[in-house]
C-alpha cells in the first residue's frame, strides 16, 4: 500500500516520473528496434517497402486514432487505471507480434499494441505535469525527453543485436518483461487520488470520440495508401471528400457539446495553436530519418544490423543530453529562445542528409543526424512546456493526448511521405521498390534510384521543418495571458 510519507515527500514527483519513464522507455525501444529489424522482416516474408511499412504504420495509425479518446477518458475516470491497462495491452500484444507467422498477423499484433500505447501516451505526460510544479515543468518534460533519448539509443542497438543473434522476433519479445516491471511500478508508486480530476457530472463525449477517430483514420489512410492505390483512384478521391466533411462535423459538434472531448476553445490561445502546428512540423523530418536510415545504411553502405544501431547511437546520446538541458534552460529563461533556433538546427541536419550519395562517408551520416537531434531536442520540451502552460490543469490529460497525437500523426505522415517519394522515384527510373533487391545491391542503377528518392525525401522534410520554424517564430512573438513567465521572474512555489 502506498505510504502517505512517500506521497508527501518532495521527491515524490521523481518517483512518479520513474514509473512513467519506464512505460515511455518500453514504447521507444520497441519503435527503435523494430525500425532496425524492418529490412530483415521484409526479407523473411518476401515483401516490399510499401507493404512492410505497415508494421510501423499500423501501430502509429491505431495510436493516433485512439489518443484523444484515451486522454479524455483519463481526465474523467483517472489516469492511473488507463495507464496500467495500456501497459498490459502493450506487453501482451508484443508477445503476439513475436509469435506471428505472417506479415498480416504481425500487422494485427501491432494494431493491438497501438491500443495499449495510446492509453499510456495519452496519460503519461499529464501525470508528469501534475506532480511537477509549474516553475519546474520544463525540467519534468525535458527529463522525459532524456528517457526518449535513452530508449532511442538502446532500441536500435538492442534491435540490431537481437536480430543478429536470435532473430527478428526477439525485438518484440523483449518488451514483455519490461512491460511487467512497468505495471508493477505503476501499481506500487502512483496514488490514484493524485491523478484524478474533479469531473463530477461530466460525461464522455462518445460522438466526438467517434468523429475524431473517423477523421484521423480517413486522413492517415489517405496519406499511407495514396501512392499504392493511385491518387486519382475512386477510393482515394472518395476519402479526400469524406475527410473534410467528417472534420467539419467534428468541429461543429465539439463547439456545441456540453462536455466536449477536445475543447477547441483552447486554440483561441495563439501560443497553444501555433505551438501545436510547429510541433507537428517538427516530427515529420526526424521520423523519416529514423525510418529510412536503416535501409540506407544496410542496403547502400552495406552495414550489418548490429552496426546500424551503433551508427544511430551518437544522435540518441545527443537527445539524452539536450532534452533535460533544454527543459531546465527554458524554465529559467523562457521557451521563446529555444523553439525557433531548435527547428532551424533540425532543418540544417535534415538538409545535410539530403546530400548523401551512394558512396557517402559514415561521418557525414552521423554528423548530420547529430545536428538534427540537437535541434529537435532544443525545440521539443520548451514547446511542450509552452503548450501545457497555455492550458488549464483540468485539461492536461487531453493536452497530453493531443501532443502525443500530433507526434504520432506526424510520424505516420512522415513515413508515408518518405515511402511515397522513394517508391515513386524508383519506379520513375525503371526499378521496383523492392527492399530485397536494394539490400542485394547488385545494380548501380538500382542503388542510384533509391538514393535519388532518399535525397528528395530529406529535401522535402527540411522544407517542412522550415515551415515549422516560421510558426515557432510567430509563436515566440505572441503574448498571451495564459503564458507563464520564466521561473526566475516568479517566486518559487513549494516543492511538490
Q: Residue 10 gets which letter from DSSP?
A: T
The CATH classification number of 11-195+261-483 equals 1.20.1250.20
- CB contact set of 42 (below 8 Å; sequence gap of 6+): 48, 49, 51, 52, 435, 436
Question: For residues 155 and 178, is the Cβ–Cβ distance under 8 A?
Answer: no
Q: Among 56-65, 330-339, 358-367, 378-387, name the most confident range.
A: 358-367
Q: What does the pLDDT look like over 113-130, one tens digit per residue?
A: 989 988 887 777 777 777
Q: What does the pLDDT look like over 212-233, one tens digit per residue?
A: 888 888 887 787 677 667 777 8
Q: Which residue has the higher pLDDT, 414 or 89?
A: 89
Q: Buried b vs exposed e over 462-496: b needs ≥16 C-beta within 10 Å?
A: bbbbbbbbebbbebbebeeeebbebbeeeeeeeeb
**Rounded Cα–Cα distance for residues 99 and 428 (Å):** 38
- CB contact set of 135 (below 8 Å; sequence gap of 6+): 331, 484, 487, 490, 492, 493
**Rounded Cα–Cα distance for residues 330 and 334 (Å):** 4
Identify the band that residue 393 occupies on the pLDDT scale cut at 50, 70 and 90: low
How is the chain split into domains, by residue range? Answer: 11-195+261-483, 209-260
Task: Of 41, 173, 49, give the one whose Cα is nearest residue 101.
Answer: 41
- Looking at residue 304, its pLDDT comes to 77
How many residues appear in the chain? 496
Residue 482 has pLDDT above 50, yes or no: no
Q: What does the pLDDT look like over 232-274, one tens digit per residue?
A: 788 888 988 998 999 899 889 888 887 777 778 878 888 888 8
* Inter-CA distances, 476 with 244, 278, 384, 389, Å: 30, 11, 13, 14
- Looking at residue 1, its pLDDT comes to 46
- Looking at residue 152, its pLDDT comes to 63
Identify the band that residue 481 occupies on the pLDDT scale cut at 50, 70 and 90: very low
Residue 197 has pLDDT above 70, yes or no: no
Question: For residues 448 and 98, is the Cβ–Cβ distance under 8 A?
Answer: no
- Looking at residue 5, its pLDDT comes to 61
Q: Which residue has the higher pLDDT, 400 or 238?
A: 238
Q: Of 79-83, 180-184, 426-430, 433-437, where does mean pLDDT reach its minimum?
A: 433-437
Q: What percent of the chain has pLDDT over 70?
A: 83
Amino acid at each position: 500500500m502506498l505510504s502517505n510519507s512517500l506521497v508527501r515527500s518532495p521527491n515524490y514527483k521523481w518517483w512518479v516520473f520513474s514509473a512513467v519513464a519506464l512505460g515511455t522507455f518500453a514504447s521507444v525501444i520497441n519503435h527503435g528496434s523494430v525500425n532496425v529489424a524492418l529490412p530483415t522482416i521484409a526479407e523473411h516474408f518476401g515483401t516490399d517497402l510499401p507493404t512492410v511499412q505497415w508494421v510501423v504504420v499500423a501501430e502509429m495509425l491505431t495510436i493516433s486514432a485512439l489518443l484523444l479518446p484515451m486522454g479524455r477518458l483519463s481526465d474523467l475516470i483517472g489516469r492511473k487505471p488507463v495507464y496500467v491497462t495500456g501497459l498490459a495491452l502493450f506487453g501482451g500484444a508484443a508477445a503476439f507480434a513475436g509469435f506471428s507467422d505472417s506479415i498480416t498477423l504481425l500487422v494485427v499484433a501491432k494494431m493491438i499494441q497501438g491500443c495499449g500505447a495510446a492509453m499510456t501516451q495519452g496519460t503519461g505526460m499529464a501525470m508528469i505535469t501534475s506532480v511537477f510544479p509549474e516553475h519546474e515543468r520544463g525540467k519534468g518534460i525535458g527529463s522525459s525527453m532524456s528517457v526518449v533519448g535513452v530508449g532511442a539509443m538502446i532500441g536500435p542497438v538492442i534491435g540490431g543485436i537481437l536480430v543478429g543473434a536470435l532473430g527478428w522476433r526477439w525485438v518484440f519479445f523483449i518488451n514483455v518483461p519490461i512491460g511487467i516491471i512497468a505495471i508493477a511500478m505503476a501499481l506500487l508508486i502512483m496514488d490514484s487520488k493524485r491523478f484524478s480530476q474533479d469531473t463530477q457530472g461530466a460525461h464522455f463525449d462518445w460522438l466526438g470520440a467517434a468523429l475524431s477517430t473517423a477523421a484521423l483514420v480517413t486522413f492517415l489512410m489517405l496519406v499511407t495508401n495514396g501512392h499504392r492505390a493511385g491518387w486519382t483512384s475512386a477510393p482515394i478521391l472518395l476519402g479526400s471528400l469524406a475527410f473534410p466533411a467528417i472534420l467539419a462535423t467534428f468541429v461543429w459538434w465539439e463547439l456545441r457539446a456540453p462536455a466536449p472531448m477536445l475543447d477547441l476553445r483552447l486554440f483561441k490561445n495563439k501560443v497553444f495553436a501555433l505551438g501545436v502546428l510547429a510541433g507537428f512540423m517538427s516530427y515529420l523530418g526526424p521520423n523519416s530519418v529514423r525510418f529510412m536510415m536503416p535501409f540506407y545504411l544496410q542496403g547502400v553502405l552495406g552495414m550489418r544490423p548490429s552496426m546500424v544501431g551503433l551508427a544511430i547511437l551518437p544522435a540518441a546520446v545527443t537527445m539524452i543530453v539536450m532534452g533535460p538541458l533544454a527543459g531546465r534552460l527554458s524554465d529559467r529563461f523562457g521557451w521563446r529562445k529555444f523553439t525557433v533556433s531548435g527547428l532551424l538546427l533540425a532543418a540544417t541536419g535534415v538538409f545535410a542528409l539530403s546530400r548523401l550519395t551512394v558512396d557517402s562517408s559514415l561521418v557525414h551520416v552521423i554528423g548530420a543526424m547529430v545536428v538534427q537531434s540537437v535541434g529537435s531536442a532544443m525545440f521539443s520540451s520548451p514547446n511542450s512546456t509552452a503548450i501545457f502552460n497555455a492550458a488549464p490543469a483540468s485539461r492536461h490529460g487531453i493536452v497530453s493526448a493531443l501532443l502525443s497525437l500530433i507526434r504520432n500523426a506526424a510520424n505516420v505522415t512522415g513515413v508515408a511521405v518518405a515511402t511515397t517519394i522513394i517508391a515513386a522515384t524508383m519506379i520513375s527510373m525503371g526499378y521496383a521498390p523492392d527492399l530485397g533487391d536494394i539490400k542485394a545491391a547488385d545494380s548501380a542503377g538500382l542503388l542510384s534510384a533509391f538514393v535519388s528518392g532518399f535525397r528528395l525525401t530529406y529535401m522535402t522534410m527540411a522544407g517542412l521543418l522550415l515551415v515549422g520554424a516560421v510558426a515557432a517564430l510567430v509563436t515566440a512573438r505572441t503574448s498571451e495571458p495564459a503564458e507563464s513567465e520564466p521561473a526566475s521572474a516568479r517566486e518559487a512555489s513549494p516543492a511538490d
